Structure formats: structure tokens, C-alpha cells
């Protein structure tokens, strides 16, 4: 389950997510929970026979939502399923500027067991550049408060920012790990077209790091986490043993997911070789008024299912399971790709044990091109 909270205190200049800035005092806490529960009820026919494996509250900034209201939504979601896994993972995304130890404790009491905190950097100059509302001290305090209250905590870090040095990035990693955090998503700054950074870049007013710097920093991040004994289990994700995000692994393995909320996306299997994906209306006011819900619907056939399985599965250290993909697609995923796979195997861009296709970690910097050649 993915629940989208569409508001934030301020839109970051690099963000292209479906979010809107709104003053905290204007947030419709109760009304949004009510709307989510209406949607959950409307989707009741999709739930029988399915097992609830994870819940992720993303955004936007879900840590702005009153914990009692988030908890009300969480309780209703769990009650809607007949079966859930024994260790249900419930994650809430948080910004350091809106996370206190009291809020972390209230979220834990509501049933949340994992927080994902958008630190991005522990350098005030970089945080100013990114338009973040917190400073480095606030970020460290938020991480320590979260670790004190929650069994599992993840942090986001960004690299490739103008003027960022490898020494700064290395120190950021060490400081985050020192707080007790056991999972980090580390990714490069990308310039998205429909953002403030995108406009500045097109106008020649935004300096970006060269590709060689991105590559060098990617390798540095991998080295530093390896020294900590963490697993680089997906291109942008690192975890101590057992601390991998079960929610994200479910996506990368091609699992079905249900989305609730404005702009939320869901994708459910409809039998071998068929899946349905939809996106809710991204406008929060229309979502609240119940005048419209789904704005986009797409039916996926065997080839689309296979392509997505390759695109997502090959991002991970475990790779793409061919048997699972064949079961979902109703078709052998190798069929029609024999030559491309053989060529990639010969170049060392792919490895196979007969059960899985995998991109060696030493080739992850070339991942996009490797996957594209299989399409």
C-alpha cells in the first residue's frame, strides 16, 4: 500500500513530485483522512485474496500530518485486509524540519515502525542550495530522535551538487551512520524539466556536476558503505544486514501495489499477462471533494510486464527472477531477447545462473544502457 500526502511546507527547487506547498495551519488533516477512507472503501473489491505486506506514507511531507489522523488511516487500511504478514513494515517519510521526538513517539504508538528522513546533506551551504528548510544540526537531531523512538530509520543523502567535495560526502555518510541509522538512500542530483532547477538549467543559470564527478561520487559512496559492512542492495540503496526496505523490494520484484490519495499510483495484476495501472487525480482539492478520482488508466500486457520486470529487477543485487516474471507475464521473458541477452552476457554486462538475470555491481554505472538494449 502506498498513501500519498500531497502537501509540503515549501516546494524544493529540484522536486518534480505531485506536491503543493501549504501552511501547516491550513492542512485539512481530518478531511484528508476521510477522503482516503472513502477511496479505500471504493477499492474494497480489489482486496479479497490479497495479503498486506507493507504500507508506505510518502509525499509531500507526511510528517506534517497529525499522527492521530495518519494513525486513523493506518488502522483502517490494516482492517481492510483479511491477511497481513507477521512483520508488517509501515514507513513514513519525514523532513527534519517537521519531525520531533514527540512526533516520532506518536507515530510509533500509531503503528509506524520505520521512518525515512530526507536529510539530503549535512552541509548548510548545500541545504540552502537545495531549498531545504532544515540545517545540518536539525538534521542530526531529527535522526537521533528518530533512532531513539523507532526500531528502523532510513536517511536520504544526495550527491553531485555544485561545489560538493568527496571529502564532504564521505563525512556526511560517517555522521549519518554514527546516529544509529541503518539504511541510506544515496542518489545523484538530477535536473527535472518541470522544476525550478530545470528552468534555471535551460537558461544557463545553474551549474551541474560533470558526469565524471557523478561516477566518482557513486563509487565513493559504495566504498564507504562497504567499509561499514552494509549491503549495496539496489543502485541507490544501502543497508545493514536485514534493514533493506521491504516495501521498495516489493516494487523492484514486480509485486502488486495499491495507491491511495491525490496523485497516488496503483498497479494490480489481473491474471497472467495482464495488469492494470492507474493514477489518481493529482489535484488535492478535487480529491477531497470526491468529484473525481482516477485520471489515468493503463492496461499492461505481457511485453510491458516483462520490460518493467527487467527495468526494476536489474537495479537490484538479486536481479530479475525469470520464473516469477514468466508467471506474471504469461510468457517466457527471454523469448525474443535471446541475441541481446547473449551479447550482454558476452560483454559481462549481465550474468545468469539460469534462474535470474543480474547486472554485476561493477557495471551499475552503465545500467540504463544495459537495460535499454534488452527492450
Same domain for 228 and 339: no
Say which CATH number the domain at 75 has. 3.20.20.70
Asked, as a colleague might, if the bond just before 46 is cis with ω within 30 of 0, I would say no
> What is the per-residue pLDDT for 292?
63
Q: How many angstroms separate the first and last alpha carbons of the chain?
A: 29
Its domain, for residue 350, covers: 303-375
CB 6 within 8 A of CB 261: yes
Distance (Å) of CA 328 to CA 76, 213, 256, 311, 319: 29, 39, 10, 15, 16
Task: List the chain pLDDT tens, one digit each, 375 residues.
Answer: 999 999 988 777 666 677 877 888 899 999 999 999 999 999 999 999 999 999 999 988 999 999 999 999 999 999 999 999 999 999 999 999 999 999 999 999 999 999 999 999 999 999 988 888 889 999 999 999 999 999 999 999 999 888 889 999 999 999 999 999 999 999 887 766 767 766 766 777 777 777 788 889 999 999 999 999 999 999 999 999 999 999 999 999 999 999 999 999 999 999 999 999 999 999 999 999 876 687 889 999 999 999 999 999 999 999 999 999 999 999 999 999 999 999 999 999 999 998 999 999 999 999 999 999 988
Same domain for 307 and 247: no
Q: pTM for this structure?
A: 0.93
With respect to residue 274, please indicate whether it lies within any of the assigned structural domains: no
> What is the per-residue pLDDT for 198?
66
With respect to residue 72, please indicate whether it lies within any of the assigned structural domains: yes
Grid cell listed for 223 = 566504498
Same domain for 233 and 109: yes
- pLDDT tens sequence across 287-302: 998 766 878 899 999 9
Same domain for 137 and 200: yes
With respect to residue 165, please indicate whether it lies within any of the assigned structural domains: yes
> What is the per-residue pLDDT for 161?
85
Region of residue 84 (left: phi > 0; alpha: psi -120 to 50; beta: else): beta
Task: Tell me the residue ranges of DSSP E strands in 95-243.
Answer: 114-120, 152-159, 183-188, 231-234, 237-239
Domain count, the chain: 2
Same domain for 200 and 82: yes
Same domain for 207 and 85: yes
Q: Which of 251, 273, 294 is the last residue of a domain?
A: 251
**Please, what sign has the CA dihedral across residues 107, 110, 114, 116?**
negative
Say which CATH number the domain at 346 has. 1.10.10.920
With respect to residue 279, please indicate whether it lies within any of the assigned structural domains: no
Per DSSP bridges, beta strands 356-358 and 320-321 are antiparallel
Per DSSP bridges, beta strands 114-120 and 83-94 are parallel
> What is the per-residue pLDDT for 78?
97
> What is the per-residue pLDDT for 197?
67
Per DSSP bridges, beta strands 20-21 and 7-8 are parallel
> What is the per-residue pLDDT for 178?
97
Helix axes 166-178, 211-227, angle to 10 degrees: 30
> What is the per-residue pLDDT for 129?
85
- pLDDT tens sequence across 329-341: 999 999 999 999 9
Same domain for 317 and 195: no
Structural element, H or E, at residue 92: strand 83-94
> What is the per-residue pLDDT for 201?
62
> What is the per-residue pLDDT for 212?
80
Same domain for 307 and 188: no
With respect to residue 270, please indicate whether it lies within any of the assigned structural domains: no
Return the number of other C-beta atoms located less than 10 Å from residue 271's C-beta: 8
Same domain for 191 and 105: yes
Return the number of other C-beta atoms located less than 10 Å from residue 275's C-beta: 22
Q: Given 3-state DSSP classes, what are the helix, strand and coil percentages for the chain, each rounded to the nearest 5?
A: 45, 25, 35
Per DSSP bridges, beta strands 265-269 and 356-358 are unpaired
Question: Whole-angstrom Cα distance, residue 269 to residue 246?
Answer: 19
Amino acid at each position: 500500500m502506498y498513501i500519498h500526502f500531497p502537501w509540503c511546507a515549501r516546494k524544493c527547487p529540484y522536486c518534480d513530485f505531485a506536491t503543493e506547498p501549504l501552511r501547516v495551519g491550513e492542512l485539512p488533516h481530518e478531511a484528508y483522512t476521510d477522503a482516503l477512507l472513502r477511496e479505500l472503501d471504493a477499492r474494497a473489491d480489489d482486496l479479497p485474496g490479497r495479503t498486506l505486506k507493507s504500507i508506505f506514507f510518502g509525499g509531500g511531507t507526511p510528517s506534517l500530518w497529525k499522527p492521530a489522523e495518519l494513525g486513523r488511516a493506518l488502522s483502517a487500511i490494516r482492517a481492510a485486509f483479511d491477511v497481513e504478514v507477521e512483520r508488517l513494515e509501515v514507513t513514513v517519510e519525514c523532513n527534519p524540519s517537521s519531525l520531533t521526538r514527540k512526533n516520532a513517539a506518536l507515530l510509533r504508538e500509531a503503528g509506524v515502525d520505520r521512518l525515512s528522513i530526507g536529510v539530503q546533506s549535512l552541509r548548510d551551504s548545500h541545504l540552502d542550495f537545495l531549498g531545504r528548510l532544515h540545517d545540518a544540526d536539525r538534521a542530526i537531531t531529527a535522526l537521533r530522535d528518530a533512532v531513539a523512538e523507532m526500531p528502523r530509520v532510513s536517511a536520504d543523502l544526495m550527491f553531485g551538487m555544485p561545489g560538493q567535495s568527496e571529502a564532504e560526502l564521505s563525512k556526511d555518510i560517517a555522521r549519518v551512520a554514527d546516529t544509529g541509522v541503518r539504511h541510506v538512500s544515496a542518489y545523484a542530483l538530477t535536473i527535472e524539466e518541470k522544476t525550478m532547477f530545470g528552468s534555471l538549467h535551460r537558461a544557463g543559470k545553474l551549474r551541474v556536476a560533470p558526469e565524471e564527478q557523478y561516477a566518482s561520487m557513486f563509487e565513493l559512496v559504495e566504498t564507504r558503505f562497504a567499509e561499514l559492512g552494509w549491503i549495496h542492495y539496489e543502485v541507490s540503496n544501502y543497508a545493514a544486514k536485514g534493514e533493506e526496505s521491504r516495501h521498495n523490494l516489493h516494487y523492484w520484484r514486480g509485486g502488486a501495489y495499491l495507491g491511495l490519495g491525490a496523485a497516488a499510483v496503483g498497479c494490480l495484476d489481473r491474471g497472467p499477462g495482464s495488469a492494470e495501472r492507474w493514477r489518481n487525480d493529482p489535484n488535492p482539492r478535487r480529491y477531497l471533494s470526491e468529484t473525481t478520482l482516477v485520471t489515468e488508466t493503463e492496461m499492461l500486457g505481457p511485453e510491458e510486464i516483462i520490460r518493467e520486470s527487467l527495468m526494476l529487477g536489474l537495479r537490484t543485487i538479486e536481479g530479475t527472477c525469470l520464473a516469477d516474471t514468466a508467471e506474471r507475464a504469461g510468457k517466457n521473458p527471454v523469448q525474443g531477447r535471446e541475441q541481446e541477452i547473449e551479447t550482454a552476457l558476452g560483454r559481462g554486462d549481465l550474468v545468469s545462473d539460469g534462474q535470474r538475470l543480474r547486472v554485476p555491481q561493477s557495471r551499475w554505472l552503465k545500467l540504463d544502457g544495459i537495460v535499454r538494449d534488452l527492450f
